[in-house]
A and B are shown apart, each in its own frame.
Chain A
Amino acid sequence: MTTKKENRVMVTVIGQDRVGIIAGVATILADAGANILDISQTIMQEEFFAMIMVVDMEGAKLPFDELKITLEEKGKSLGVQIMAQHEDVFKFMHRI
């Protein structure tokens, strides 16, 4: 496993869709110097909006802990739930 891969995090946004969610999250990530590698979105249970971003933390200026808190606070102001988790959680759970 390369070190670069180990520094990727998944940012997930779940909640009611509204204007400004992607912009809000992308701004925080850009300010932190974290690079968005991929974005996708889906509708869960025909009601909830779920956006998933793969983010490279390699060049980030902000430590992961602080970025996570900033994102969570942004989520509160947008009325959605924003989570940032290390990519390994997903890789480990579903793959050997």
Chain B
Amino acid sequence: MPMTISNDEILETIRMVQMENLDIRTITMGISLRDCSRTDTESTARAIYDKITKKAENLVKAGEQIEREFGIPIINKRISVTPIALVAESSSDQNYPVIAKALDRAAIEVGVNFIGGYSALVHKGKTKGDSALIESLPEALSTTERVCASVNVATTKAGINMDAVAQMGRIIKATAEATAHQGGLGCAKLVVFCNVPEDNPFMAGAFHGVGEPESVINVGVSGPGVVLNAVRKNPEADFGALASTIKHTAFKITRMGELVGRAASAKLGVPFGIVDLSLAPTPAIGDSVADILEAMGLERCGTHGTTAALALLNDAVKKGGAMASSYVGGLSGAFIPVSEDAGMIAAVEVGALTIDKLEAMTCVCSVGLDMIAVPGDTSAETISAIIADESAIGMINRKTTAVRIIPVPGKKVGDHVEFGGLLGHAPVMQVHPFSAQTFINRGGRIPAPLQALNN
């Protein structure tokens, strides 16, 4: 029987896995909890625990089996659920942390490292369930280990809910205080979004949207190391050739996501949702988005030219990836989380990368100000103003943006905070010392932009 694949191609695949950290970042099972609403939080929590542990019973086992069969590491197996504010709202009491604890227990029981969906969507306003959920965040995130939370405060269609933005500044501060002994770790599990996608498999922002099926398998690919190597091999290439190289590489990475997604879907008898084509860095050396930007010819990530380099990278990843998968979704773009990317950390430490440059970079890549540690005495209003800026970028550009910021209690600029594992460690970054308090205290909504009027 003839070999349809050349030796070079086979060895290339093996090199990508063995030497360049190609892996599947996550298989995330989305589970609808819409049928778990009860009249009190205790019974709701029980229904949620029972449903998750039944639906996701074989998730980890199937993931491990696929890893062995294909020889491709699958780093995380995770679960996303219907935003809990929707599920819990029918409860007569507001003891929402009981539900967070049930999610945590379910995650431990089925063996997933994170469960996302302790979430509320409040871009235009809050219901009583949304209010209760948001108020419960500091307690929920400090008394659980694996639960991830998110709040969507803005969309292009609705504008920015500045009351929610103001509140989230206070909630982030309170969450940092509640987890002060862990460097404010609770805030690393809390994302504030604009234009949140409903099928994102990546944590901490994953939840199972209301338009999603009963359950679904979404896959997040990774592979900055593979792209880095491809860029390094072409030091002389002009931008067209460079973009082409990245596209080819992104195609191959995404094909692995498609393969794993289809295999997991078949094994679990759950429909396949999307592949999220994100370049997700890890703290491992060589698995860094900053390193790719530097390999393109920048002395340090964060210097002038970084935004242009990132725009090229992000666009080429999407173009290559879009060809490789039947269904692309989620966030799909390069991530620039500071604490999870060794190159970003190094760039901050030498003073090349600032919060302002990161904000500019978020205009041309996915997500936003991600895993940024700031001084513990940063005011709630300043954090709200940072969220407002990011939301404005997302709203005007019709894209997802997010803020995951950690005001580390007791730490000041230049200090370090260690979160451990995939969350990495972060240098504490400077924020502007001038106040935005009067602006934030105005309250109300920033109206939907002209971009929303496209019907």
Q: Across the interface, do A93 and B1 meet the contact criterion of CB distance under 8 Å? A: no
Q: Across the interface, do B9 and A94 meet the contact criterion of CB distance under 8 Å? A: yes
Cβ of A84 < 8 Å from any Cβ of B? Answer: yes
Q: Across the interface, do B71 and A83 meet the contact criterion of CB distance under 8 Å? A: yes
Q: Provide the residues of chain A in CB contact with B323, threshold 8 Å.
A: 96
Q: Across the interface, do B71 and A90 meet the contact criterion of CB distance under 8 Å? A: no
Cβ of A88 < 8 Å from any Cβ of B? Answer: yes
Q: Across the interface, do A12 and B14 meet the contact criterion of CB distance under 8 Å? A: yes
Cβ of A25 < 8 Å from any Cβ of B? Answer: no
Cβ of A52 < 8 Å from any Cβ of B? Answer: yes
Q: Across the interface, do A94 and B252 meet the contact criterion of CB distance under 8 Å? A: yes
Q: Across the interface, do A85 and B69 meet the contact criterion of CB distance under 8 Å? A: yes
Cβ of A44 < 8 Å from any Cβ of B? Answer: yes
Q: Quick one: closest A residue to B253, CB to CB?
A: A93
Cβ of B72 < 8 Å from any Cβ of A? Answer: yes
Nearest Cβ on chain A to B272's Cβ, whole angstroms: 14
A44 to B10, CA, bound (A): 12
Cβ of B5 < 8 Å from any Cβ of A? Answer: yes
Q: Across the interface, do A54 and B1 meet the contact criterion of CB distance under 8 Å? A: yes
Q: Provide the residues of chain B in CB contact with A76, threshold 8 Å.
A: none
Given contacts A37-B1, A65-B68, A84-B71, contact A89 B256 (CB under 8 A): yes
Q: Across the interface, do B7 and A38 meet the contact criterion of CB distance under 8 Å? A: no
A92 to B70, CA, bound (A): 11
Give the interface residue-count category, chain A. Answer: 20 to 34
Q: Across the interface, do A92 and B11 meet the contact criterion of CB distance under 8 Å? A: no
- Select B5's contact among A65, A81, A94, A96, beta carbons within 8 Å: A94
A96 to B251, CA, bound (A): 10
Q: Provide the residues of chain A in CB contact with B11, threshold 8 Å.
A: 12, 14, 42, 44, 50, 52
Q: Across the interface, do B3 and A38 meet the contact criterion of CB distance under 8 Å? A: yes
Could you mark each residue 66-96 of chain A with 1 if its beta carbon is under 8 Å from any beta carbon of chain B, else 0? Answer: 0010000000000001011110111111111
- Select A83's contact among B3, B14, B252, B255, beta carbons within 8 Å: B14
For the complex of A and B, list the 7 residue pairs with the smallest distance between their C-beta atoms, beginning with the closest: A85-B71, A92-B259, A37-B1, A89-B70, A90-B5, A94-B9, A86-B69
Q: Which residues of A from 9 to 35 have beta carbons under 8 Å from B?
A: 10, 12, 14
A37 to B13, CA, bound (A): 20
Q: Which residues of B from 69 to 91 have beta carbons under 8 Å from A?
A: 69-72
Q: Is the interface of B mostly helix, strand, loop or mixed?
A: helix
From B5, B7, B9, B10, residue with most partner A Cβ within 10 Å:
B10
Given contacts A83-B71, A85-B70, A86-B70, contact A92 B1 (CB under 8 A): no
Q: Across the interface, do B69 and A92 meet the contact criterion of CB distance under 8 Å? A: no
Q: Across the interface, do A54 and B69 meet the contact criterion of CB distance under 8 Å? A: no
Cβ of A3 < 8 Å from any Cβ of B? Answer: no
Q: Which residues of B from 310 to 351 have beta carbons under 8 Å from A?
A: 323-324
Nearest Cβ on chain A to B71's Cβ, whole angstroms: 4
Given contacts A12-B10, A52-B10, A90-B9, contact A40 B3 (CB under 8 A): yes
Q: Across the interface, do B13 and A89 meet the contact criterion of CB distance under 8 Å? A: yes
- Select A92's contact among B2, B4, B14, B258, beta carbons within 8 Å: B258
Q: Provide the residues of chain B in CB contact with A88, threshold 8 Å.
A: 70, 259
Give the interface residue-count category, chain B. Answer: 20 to 34
Could you mark each residue 373-406 of chain B with 1 if its beta carbon is under 8 Å from any beta carbon of chain A, else 0? Answer: 0000000000000000000000000000000000
A95 to B258, CA, bound (A): 12
- Select A54's contact among B3, B71, B255, B324, beta carbons within 8 Å: B3
Q: Across the interface, do B68 and A68 meet the contact criterion of CB distance under 8 Å? A: yes
Q: Provide the residues of chain A in CB contact with B256, threshold 8 Å.
A: 89, 92-93
Nearest Cβ on chain A to B378's Cβ, whole angstroms: 45
A42 to B4, CA, bound (A): 16
Q: Provide the residues of chain A in CB contact with B70, threshold 8 Å.
A: 85-86, 88-89
Q: Quick one: closest B residue to A65, CB to CB?
A: B68
Given contacts A93-B252, A94-B5, contact A10 B10 (CB under 8 A): yes
Can you report 5 residue pairs joining A to B where beta carbons are below 8 Å apart? A85-B72, A90-B9, A91-B4, A93-B259, A95-B5
- Select A14's contact among B14, B68, B69, beta carbons within 8 Å: B14
Could you mark each residue 1-37 of chain B with 1 if its beta carbon is under 8 Å from any beta carbon of chain A, else 0? Answer: 1111101011101100010000000000000000000
Q: Across the interface, do A89 and B4 meet the contact criterion of CB distance under 8 Å? A: no
Q: Provide the residues of chain B in CB contact with A85, threshold 8 Å.
A: 69-72
Q: Provide the residues of chain B in CB contact with A94, threshold 8 Å.
A: 5, 9, 13, 252, 255
Q: Provide the residues of chain A in CB contact with B10, threshold 8 Å.
A: 10, 12, 52, 90
Identify 15 new A-B residue pairs, CB closer than 8 A, beyond the known A64-B68, A95-B5. Answer: A12-B11, A40-B3, A42-B11, A50-B7, A64-B69, A65-B68, A85-B71, A86-B69, A89-B256, A92-B259, A93-B255, A94-B5, A94-B9, A94-B13, A96-B323
Q: Provide the residues of chain B in CB contact with A83, threshold 8 Å.
A: 14, 71
Q: Across the interface, do B7 and A52 meet the contact criterion of CB distance under 8 Å? A: yes
